[in-house]
Structure 1
Amino acid sequence: MNGERLDLGRVGVWTNHLDTFPIAVALQAAVELEDLGCPALWLTETTGREALTQASIVLGATRRMTVATGVATIYGRDPVTMAQAQRTLAEAHPGRFLLGLGVSHPWFVEEVRGQVFGKRVPSMRSYLDRMDTASFGPPDGGKEAPRVIGAVGPRMLALAAERTDGAFPFCVPVEHTRRTRELMGPDAFLAVEQAVVLTSDRERARALARSYIAASLPNRGPVLADLGYRLELDGPAGDRLVEALVVWGGLAEIEARAQEHLAAGADHVCLYVIGAPSDRPPLPEWRALAPLFG
């Protein structure tokens, strides 16, 4: 968008954990994550806090770390409001906010928000058109603020390369990263999410992974099938899918998977801890992962 390749560091964090705790606890966790050396924190938007408000609060509590939305749904704000918010955060925190946009899921859009879920790629293209022509926002800042699209399928990835700084695929194997880099070309920014389970217990890791994958399959099925995976979670085919989408073990295993994504063309890998206890932020897990940050 602005002619400069985004640099978020090689390994950061994606999380939905902060939404479940009081804001003071969430901010304390974000500050410690920054102190651990994490270069970028990706925040979700599902049933918890509104993404841009939470990003603003976290940016205000931290000093160096990039805060990204991973992702803010286009059905949550009209495109003019999204542009205003992005430009305001870019002006207030230069170089530290990245807007990740996504189309969300039909159920969230129609059942929760009471809107009509449109065709994915045309809806995103129209939304970007209206963002780009919005004349509102800070008078001097933010017009070229960076943005990426949460994209998995080839048409949405192509749109991301054409109209934004790049893409943020979620719940995908290394083969997808390699194919995405080939499709988007060498100049687009590519961040990928990688789910991790910090345990040596194989059965526990696989049970957690299956639950995580089951929630993601509806939007990933065609892409995974095209990559040669069978869309089932039991038996050898299920084991293969689990091993491809979730890495478990210790630091060495997680570092190896992150390096595979980077070698396949990713610029940035954000690690998503699954299986952490629900009564606390995943700070012990983030501390264990800290040697990979940066």
Structure 2
Amino acid sequence: MAIPIGRVGIWSPSYVWNTDDAREAAAEIDALGYGALWLGAAAPDLRLPEDLLAATDRLVLATGIVNVWAADAAELAAGFHRLAKAYPNRFLLGLGVSHAPVVQKLGKAYTRPLNYLAGYLDALDNAPEPVPVDQRVLAALGPKALTLAAQRSAGAHPYLVTPEHTRIARETLGPGPLLVPEQKVVLETDPSTARALARAGVRYYLGLPNYVRNLLALGFTEDDVAGDGSERLVDTLVAWGTPDQIAKRITEHHDAGADHVAVQVVSPAADSTAWTGRPAREEWRALAAALL
């Protein structure tokens, strides 16, 4: 049975949920009507999604993503079933191969990552309690990863992408699989302030080869991806302005073939360099009227 995630959800880094109001914030996302909460860089123990599921009534919790190099497949499968049994049809397991610099810090060689991911899916399929194909999604950017997502999971969760990538991904996936792009947004109408926040939101990712290759494949230049990114790159990757202006970008993804868009608010409340912050509750409220 496919997990019902609706048309729009919230993407939020896991590190902002270590706050006193975390459960209250998750309950508010639920009450506002968002379909899912995607937790970035989710820990393999799945304790955070489990805690937030307990605080909500309807909301789907999804991992976006669990790094397969850092998680034992049998243990992850057992954790998945712990949540799936306690909260039926409300947990979606997002998996991915991460990036060479991240994996190398784990003391592992980042070689043939898609083959490694395919083997990891085999392990999930062969676990004492297998993880159902329709209750897992794969982080995917290029055609080979998208094809694997279509064949071995419910679909794809591309990150740091544009509506044009969503169009290409839908063509690659075909009409059936789930397509869930992440979209960064900044609720700010002043161009210089908005772009400063947007650059803070993309800076880290421009140091990761997988994302850079994908952006170059989409037609951006080496100058676009250098440093903190060109104005053209930032404006294309990060939607900024009023809630209604941001809603237009979300619509572009849907028109290009997205089933669900995971909206990530970039705000001063979160610092990706220090891995600290708080849930962007004010922005989620402001966006709800335009997006839901």
Residue 95 (str. 1) matches residue 89 (str. 2): yes
Q: How many Å apart are 1:67 and its aligned residue?
A: 0.4
Q: How many Å apart are 1:88 and its aligned residue?
A: 2.0
Segment of structure 1 superposing worse, 79-88 or 93-102: 79-88
Residue 29 (str. 1) matches residue 29 (str. 2): no
Q: How many Å apart are 1:21 and its aligned residue?
A: 5.0
Give the aligned partner of residue 220 of structure 1.
Answer: 211
Q: How many Å apart are 1:101 and its aligned residue?
A: 0.2
Q: 2: distance between equivalents of 1:264 and 1:182?
A: 10
Segment of structure 1 superposing worse, 217-226 or 243-252: 217-226
Q: 1: distance between equivalents of 2:31 and 2:126?
A: 39
Q: How many Å apart are 1:277 and its aligned residue?
A: 2.4
Paired residues of 1:13 and 1:270 also in contact (CA < 8 A): yes
Q: How many Å apart are 1:200 and its aligned residue?
A: 0.7
Q: How many Å apart are 1:284 and its aligned residue?
A: 0.7
Aligned length, in residue pairs: 282
Paired residues of 2:41 and 2:66 also in contact (CA < 8 A): yes
Q: How many Å apart are 1:197 and its aligned residue?
A: 0.4
The counterpart of 2:164, out of the listed 175, 183, 205, is 175
Residues 260-290 of structure 1: per-residue CA shift (max 9 Å, x gap): 0000000000110102324642111111011
Residues 21-47 of structure 1: per-residue CA shift (max 9 Å, x gap): 54532112111121121211000126x
Q: 1: distance between equivalents of 2:142 and 2:154?
A: 17
Paired residues of 1:19 and 1:26 also in contact (CA < 8 A): no
Residue 249 (str. 1) matches residue 238 (str. 2): no
Residue 15 (str. 1) matches residue 12 (str. 2): yes
Residue 127 (str. 1) matches residue 124 (str. 2): no
Secondary structure, counterpart of 2:223 in structure 1: coil
Residues 131-176 of structure 1: per-residue CA shift (max 9 Å, x gap): 1011147xxxx64661000111111111000100000000101110
Residues 39-68 of structure 1: per-residue CA shift (max 9 Å, x gap): 11000126xx55611011111111100000
Task: Give me the TM-score of the superposition, normalised by structure 1.
Answer: 0.89
Give the aligned partner of residue 78 of structure 1.
Answer: 72
Unmatched 5+ stretches in structure 2: 271-276
Q: 2: distance between equivalents of 1:127 and 1:95?
A: 23
Residues 82-121 of structure 1: per-residue CA shift (max 9 Å, x gap): 211112211111110000001122222222x233323221
Q: Which has the higher contact order (CA 8 A, sep 6+)?
A: 1
Paired residues of 2:44 and 2:71 also in contact (CA < 8 A): no
Secondary structure, counterpart of 2:20 in structure 1: helix
Paired residues of 2:45 and 2:79 also in contact (CA < 8 A): no
Q: Percent identity between the aligned chains?
A: 40
Q: 2: distance between equivalents of 1:269 and 1:256?
A: 12
The counterpart of 2:284, out of the listed 274, 283, 286, is 286
Task: Give me the TM-score of the superposition, normalised by structure 2.
Answer: 0.89
Q: 1: distance between equivalents of 2:97 and 2:114?
A: 9
Secondary structure, counterpart of 1:122 in structure 2: helix
